[in-house]
Amino acid sequence: MKKIIICFLFLVVGAGLAIFIYGCAESKMIAEKSGSQLWGENCIRCHNIPSSLEYSSAEWEVIGMHMKLRANLTDDETNKIVTFLKSEN
């Protein structure tokens, strides 16, 4: 019975560790990407490619907040994408 409990604990700890490591690796991958890369990977899935000049900087901020929720983007991803789009103005 002790062996089963110990094996179960090792399995739970191992799974938790794997999830923690994978989550950190994903964050590093996102941190290394530019706003244009993130825009290309996320926005184009649902939208045609609009000109960044189509909206003002203030409008891109509002659009970014809206799309953060709709597209399930992180704060970092949203900030990079909005900064990229505003830099094109």
pLDDT single digits (tens) 26-81: 565 777 899 989 988 888 888 887 788 889 999 999 999 999 999 999 999 999 99
25 and 37 co-located in one domain: no
How many domains in the chain?
2
44 and 65 co-located in one domain: yes
Distance CA 29, CA 79 (A): 16
12 and 51 co-located in one domain: no
58 and 81 co-located in one domain: yes
72 and 49 co-located in one domain: yes
- Both tokens assigned to 44: 């184009």
* Residue 39: closest CA among 88, 70, 77: 77
Q: Has this prediction a pTM greater than 0.85? A: no
- Which segments of the chain does DSSP mark as H helices, in order? 2-31, 35-42, 57-70, 75-87
Mean pLDDT of 3-24: 62
Structural domain containing residue 51 = 33-89
Residue 12: CB partners within 8 Å, gap ≥ 6?
none
Mean pLDDT of 14-27: 57
25 and 44 co-located in one domain: no
